[in-house]
């Protein structure tokens, strides 16, 4: 499988943004981050967008940013944790490039997520477990699954390169 565009999908704190930068550097491509692009456009952090406008508004902004990224080639896109949940987004991503699920065990994700309010959907452990269980089904429809738990971002990038080369 060869690709000229890679979308990284997975749960919050799976390392999508960090791996996107490492992978893009290794491939000599651009890295784009959906959440960072939304924050730049809205001039506020994701948590503030959720608080002020709600999740529905954020998801609409996410779809708009994704559409702007579609024409780009030779780019690694770090999606938000919920981006791949939307069937329209999932179809667009899978038609446009290779989707790679960074699969990290829930226990490791929970240890990585700061309890500082920057992750609006990370309210408590029970809700995180439910959210993770719901999202895993969607992530499983990615083109490639890469085990990324306990692995350095550069090693995850190498695993992805092996799969798409």
Under 8 Å between Cβ of 27 and 74: yes
pLDDT, tens only, 37-89: 999 999 999 989 988 999 999 999 999 999 999 999 999 999 999 999 999 99
Please count the CA atoms within 13 angstroms of the CA of 66 that sit on its side-chain side.
28
DSSP state of 8: E
Q: Where are the domains of the chain?
A: 5-164
- Cα–Cα separations (whole angstroms), residue 160 to 62, 95, 97, 119, 165: 24, 18, 13, 26, 9
CA atoms within 13 A on the CB side of 104: 26
pTM of the entire structure?
0.93
Q: 84: how many CB neighbours lie within 10 A of its CB?
A: 24
Q: What is the pLDDT of residues 82-127, one digit of tens each?
A: 999 999 999 999 999 999 999 999 989 888 876 655 555 556 677 8
Distance, in Å, from the CA atom of 105 to the CA atom of 109, rounded to the nearest integer, reads 6
Level-2 CATH architecture, domain 5-164 = 3-Layer(aba) Sandwich (3.40)
Determine the distance from the C-alpha atom of residue 63 to the mean position of all C-alpha atoms in its chain, rounded to a whole number. 13
Assess contact for 9 and 116: CB atoms under 8 A. no
Q: Which of 53, 115, 106, 48 is nearest to 81 (CA)?
A: 106
């Amino acid at each position: 499988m060869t690709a000229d565009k890679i979308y990284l999908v997975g749960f919050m704190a799976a390392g999508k943004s960090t791996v996107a930068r490492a992978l893009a550097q290794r491939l000599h491509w651009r890295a784009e981050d959906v959440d960072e692009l939304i924050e730049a456009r809205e001039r506020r952090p994701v948590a503030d967008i959720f608080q002020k406008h709600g999740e529905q508004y954020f998801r609409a902004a996410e779809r708009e940013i994704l559409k702007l990224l579609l024409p780009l080639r030779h780019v690694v896109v770090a999606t938000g944790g919920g981006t791949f949940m939307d069937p329209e987004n999932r179809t667009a991503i899978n038609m446009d490039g290779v989707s790679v699920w960074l699969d990290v065990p829930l226990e490791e994700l929970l240890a990585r997520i700061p309890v500082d309010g920057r992750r609006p959907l990370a309210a408590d452990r029970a809700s995180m477990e439910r959210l993770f269980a719901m999202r895993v089904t969607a992530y499983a429809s990615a083109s490639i699954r890469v085990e990324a738990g306990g692995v350095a971002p550069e090693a995850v990038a190498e695993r992805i390169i092996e799969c798409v080369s």
